[in-house]
Amino acid sequence: MLDKFGQPQVGPYNTERLLAFLNDLHQRLVPEQDQEGENMRTFVIIWDNVAFHHSQATTTLFEVHPRLVPLFLPPYSPFLNPIEEFFSAWRWKAYDHQPHDQMSLLEAMQGHHS
């Protein structure tokens, strides 16, 4: 997730950040003038089963924004989630450079290691 300046946010991802992301996504995909009416496009969000994807606050958000539709992958199916392969490759790339603090980790992830 990016902050308001377009920079990646560092730190754990949680329900609060997820809700901010989904609200921002809704605002970008569904302009205010297009929020009502029949035959409107829906946007399917495919994701895994991390706990905060199933929180009450997340469920409520989907009720409030019915044009966003969650579709959950089956449990224990990382092979269906392309980002898992990316994370795995990225993790090993960063691990090979043995980062010792947050800055060196970010540099390793960007490919600018010393």
Token reading at 12 = 């754990």
DSSP, res 31: -
> Do 55 and 34 share a domain, yes or no?
yes
At residue 34, the pLDDT reads: 65
Q: Which of 46-50, 55-59, 78-82, 90-94 has the highest mean pLDDT?
A: 55-59
Check residue 114 and give its pLDDT: 44
Q: Can you give the residue range of the structural domain that contains 65? A: 1-75
Q: What is the mean pLDDT of residues 75-82?
A: 84
Q: Are residues 68 and 97 in the same domain?
A: no
Whose structure tokens read 């990016």? 2
Same domain for 3 and 59, yes or no, is yes
pLDDT band at 110 (very low <50, low <70, confident <90, very high): confident
Tell me the per-residue pLDDT of 17-52, one tens digit each, with 9 for 90 and over: 899 989 999 998 987 666 666 667 889 999 888 888
- Predicted confidence at residue 102, as pLDDT, reads 75
Angle at CA of residue 17, ends 40 and 109, nearest 5°: 110
Residues 71 and 94 in one domain: no
Residue 69 sits in the same domain as residue 111: no
